[in-house]
Amino acid sequence: MLHIVTALPCEAKPLIQYYRLNGRQAENGFRIYENEQIRLIIAGIGKSAAAAACGYLQAMTAKEKHIWLNLGIAGHASLDIGEGVIANKVIDAASEKQWYPAMPFKSPCDTVQLITVDQPESEYLGDYAYDMEASGFYATACRFNSSELVHVFKVISDNHANPAQQVSAKMAEEIISAQLDSVDALIQQLLKLNALLMPQQATPEIEQFQQHWHFTVSQQHQLNRLLQRWQARSIEPLNIYHYRLEKNSKAVLQLLERRIDKLPLKFENS
């Protein structure tokens, strides 16, 4: 299932209408809308609220893996109002922690570096987009799935010429509605990628690794996720020979992750 996290009802409304999502009774302070394929939660403003919403959604189906998408508005110094962008880097301003969403597909719009701040941004320093939720969303959601299936889509709502104080709920709803084609293009790419990664049964590669090294249950899950990422990003099969000199399972996992991070992106056709 695709999990969408928005901060505000005005950000969620275009998606609720476009995907014909049905509302559930409010649960523990969250309003949730869903159909057979998509579940959307309105989290409230701020990274802590976004993190809590992610945790709540995951707890509803704790043993399942989901696609994750944070959608909302953001500011930027110079980008046009209404432009849709996808984060290729998420930065938390307070902690300076950074995350790098992986995109083994063609992005339907431009990508940007996104900084999450604790208060509305007015100076727009550097070539960054600014929001208040993405780092809390990303830090939590990437615990539940690999970075290829955790993404942030923002629509520019304010800039130097049009400050954030002028943004209204009606305006936010309108500019997100205008970007629904790009949003849906991203969602279809993620659904396609998720279908490729869906099989959870043991693969020959997993069995080969387990014959050479002992993996704890937690490490087996980590190994499975890494092999799924390899499949998503590489056109070449994985060769266990390259790991023969590693002394233990921890070293194997670390080397495998480093190799995956260095792989060129494998673009899928739209």
Q: Does residue 265 carry a pLDDT above 70? A: no
Residues of the chain within CATH 3.40.50.1580 domain(s) are: 2-197
Q: How confident is the model at residue 173 (pLDDT cuts 50, 70, 90)?
A: very high
Model-level pTM? 0.76
Average pLDDT in the chain: 90
90 strand-pairing partners: 99, 114
CA distances from 41 to 11, 38, 89, 140, 236 (A): 11, 10, 23, 15, 38
| CB neighbour burial string for 158-194, b if at least 16 within 10 angstroms, e if fewer | bbeeeebeebeeebbbebbbebbebbebbbebbeebb
- Per-residue pLDDT reduced to its tens digit, 184-198: 999 999 998 888 776
- The distance of Cα 263 from the centroid of its chain, to the nearest Å, equals 19
Give the type of residue at 263.
L
Average pLDDT over residues 127-155: 95
Give the type of residue at 174.
E
Q: Which residue has the tokens 């299936």?
A: 149
Query: Helices 180-197 & 217-233, crossing angle to 10 degrees?
Result: 120
- Per-residue pLDDT reduced to its tens digit, 27-75: 778 999 999 999 999 999 999 999 999 999 999 988 788 999 999 999 9
Q: Tell me the backbone φ, ψ of residue 3, rounded to 5 degrees.
A: -105, 120
Give the pLDDT confidence score for residue 200 in this predicted structure. Answer: 45
The helix/strand/coil state of 102 is coil
Q: Which residue has the tokens 């969303």?
A: 137
Q: How confident is the model at residue 234 (pLDDT cuts 50, 70, 90)?
A: confident
Q: How many CB atoms lie within 10 A of CB 38?
A: 21
Give the pLDDT confidence score for residue 136 in this predicted structure. Answer: 97
Per DSSP, the residues of 80-97 read: PTT-EEEEEEEEETTT--
- Per-residue pLDDT reduced to its tens digit, 212-231: 888 886 787 788 888 878 87
The helix/strand/coil state of 202 is coil
Q: Quick one: fold of 2-197?
A: Rossmann fold (3.40.50)
Q: Judge contact between 148 and 232, C-beta under 8 A.
A: yes
